[in-house]
Structure 1
Amino acid sequence: MAKSWLLFLSLLAVARLGHCQQPTKAVGDCSSKAYQDTLVARYLDRGAHRVSYLSPQWGQYCDSLIAACPNIAYAYQQKAMPLIKCGDYAKSMPLIDKAVALDENRWLAYRGFLKCIFTKDYAGAIADFQRVAELKPNGREMDHTYAFFEGACELELGHYKLAEKAFATDMALQRGADGQGSIHFNTLWYAGVAAARLKQYAQAEKYLQQCLKAYPQHPEANYYLALNYRVQDQPALARQHLEAAQRALISGYRLNEDNIFYANYPEQITEFEVRQALREVEK
């Protein structure tokens, strides 16, 4: 009986000790950048990035990374990327919002870019770019200044004076402190469109000609220059540039922006618009 009693007390002590001990954490420290990097290397660099982004495995790798550490902003952006490229914005944008919430400094400008080019939320894009400009003055996204995207959004909203101002800022930033930097041809194109909308036809022609000097086959610059000539009753020049725009499109020339394969940029044209304009000129 005494032995049984002693055995009972021993078992009770062991049970109490086990109950008081904290369980050992099975995963690493998700607040550690080094640990996060090991997970990114495992699930993305050696996982998702070795399969097509159209493969279900891509999303599965991202889900595994998120399950391991739910505070890695890059995981949400990478999970969203295939959805963005396939046009599923209803599913992708909440993931981008999560990435921004976790790392605003890195992903806010990217979200502004998506709103401008993909979802056409121009007011939302402007708000994002204005906010990120406070965090990272004179920063860039997708090879352009924040002002470039602001200008494109203001142009689509019909705020032509604000667009003109934004493109002036964009050009000043590209020129740099010494004023010697070159201006991107798409900035010149957009600035030309804004000037034309403000009925500043001479200034519009100047910008669009500068664009064509840098990129003679630019379809949009030829098209909008043609419209600029047409409104000034110069049909021969209008036809010349419309035909140049048509040849360029048929030959495969485009804006030379990486994401035109997935979404149209503001004011981007197709051959249909060119054919319609040619009919108008030929009347």
Structure 2
Amino acid sequence: MKYLNFLILLFAFSNVFAQPNCEAYKYYGDTLKYEACKKAMEISGHYQFSKKYQTILDESIEIDPTFDYAYWAKSIAYLKSGDFVSWKKLIDKAVELKPKNHLGYRGWCRYQFFRDYKGAIKDFEKLDSLVGYDIGQSQNGTYHLNIAKGLCYKAIGEKEKAVQIIEKQIKLNEKENFIGSYDYLHLGVLYLELGNFEKAIELFKKQSKDNELAENQYYLALAYKNLNKKTEYKSCLEKAKELYIGQSRMFDFYSNPMDKVYLENIENEIKTAYNNGHR
């Protein structure tokens, strides 16, 4: 699991900070884009929210208004500062110029920051239609974009379709021995919500082996509760509280992941178990 987390972090870091190869533009004779690229690279060392950072990118765009990287790089500061209107205009321009490079990123942001599930699905599916290769990971490295797409379908109420998409991607991930940190958990919760409690338990147990979380034990407890397995129900709730207090829980720097639970949820369920005579 530690090796997986390292790879995920490495991928996320390289994806976020990847820079274009300016020399490639020069090699292919696109001198305008070469000059725009060289100008854009001057942002190195400048704070994203600084006037200098934005001015350099503006100058890059002035050199070549079709240089997609400059629009994408400018957009990041607006996203982080909460100016989503400006972010949208800039990222839309980057997508227009190079859809293969930026559709996945825009789709992920639509999912993560805006809960624009239908818009995210549209971006993921458009990207998939344009490329003949794997559409890749989310910007933070936590999910394959197809897992994110499945979660989007869940969010709009199409849970059976979500199951199909996530199951398919998990099988591919298993072949590569590259399971996402929350993949089994999300699929287990879907089966729990669809009333297939035995299948949900199977997946929660896989999640336990791969990456144990407070959320996982909480949902496992609910599955056992529905099967009237009182001892297991109680045990999982206690374990969920212990894991939560010990910081073993779902986490994202910028937003709350889908299916996340809080200590209050766990403690309220423990009270319910006690009041119903399960303890």
Shared fold per TM-score greater than 0.5: yes
Match of 2:250 in 1: 255
Residue 170 of structure 1, CA deviation:
0.7
Which of 54, 66, 72 is the matching residue for 2:67?
Answer: 72
Summarize deviations over 1:111-163 as a string: whole Å, max 9, x none.
Answer: 11111111101111111111111112432122443321111111212211011
CA shift in 2, pair 1:46/1:192, >3 Å: same
Is 1:271 matched up with 2:263? yes
Q: CA deviation at 1:254?
A: 3.9
Q: Which amino acid counterpart does residue 56 of structure 2 have in structure 1?
A: Y
Higher relative contact order (Cα pairs below 8 Å, separated by 6+ residues): 2
Identity of aligned residues (%): 23
Q: Does 1:173 align with 2:172?
A: yes
Structure 1 segments unaligned to the other structure (5+ residues): 1-27
What TM-score comes out, normalization by structure 2 length? 0.78
- The whole-number CA distance in structure 1 between the counterparts of 2:244 and 2:55 is 39
Q: 1:215 corresponds to which residue?
A: 211
The change in CA–CA distance for 1:68 and 1:240 in structure 2 (over 3 A counts) is farther
What displacement does 1:65 show? 2.2
1:244 maps to: 239
Contact 2:35 2:63 in 1 (8 A): no
1:203 corresponds to: 199
Match of 1:107 among 76, 97, 102: 102
Match of 2:121 among 113, 126, 131: 126
- Write the mapping of 1:26-105 to structure 2, written as runs, cut at 5 A: 33=30, 35-43=32-40, 45-47=41-43, 49-105=44-100
Amino acid at match of 1:84: L
Query: What RMSD over aligned residues (CA atoms) do the two structures have, in Å?
Result: 2.6
Shift of 1:267: 1.9
SS at match of 2:250: coil
- The 1:96/1:196 distance shift into structure 2, 3 A limit, reads same
Structure 2 match to 1:194: 190
Corresponding residue for 2:160?
Answer: 161
| Aligned CA distance change for structure 1 residues 141 and 182 (closer, same or farther; 3 Å) | closer
How far the C-alpha of 1:37 sits from its partner, in A, is 4.5
Map of 2:12 onto structure 1? none
Q: 1:211 to 1:65 in 2, by over 3 A?
A: same
* Whole-angstrom CA distance in 2 between matches of 1:202 and 1:167: 18
Give distance in 1, aligned partners of 2:230 and 2:56. 58
Q: Aligned partners of 1:154, 1:196: CA distance in 2, in Å?
A: 16
Contact in 2 for aligned 1:117/1:266 (Cα 8 Å):
no
What is the TM-score when the length of structure 1 is the normalising length?
Answer: 0.77
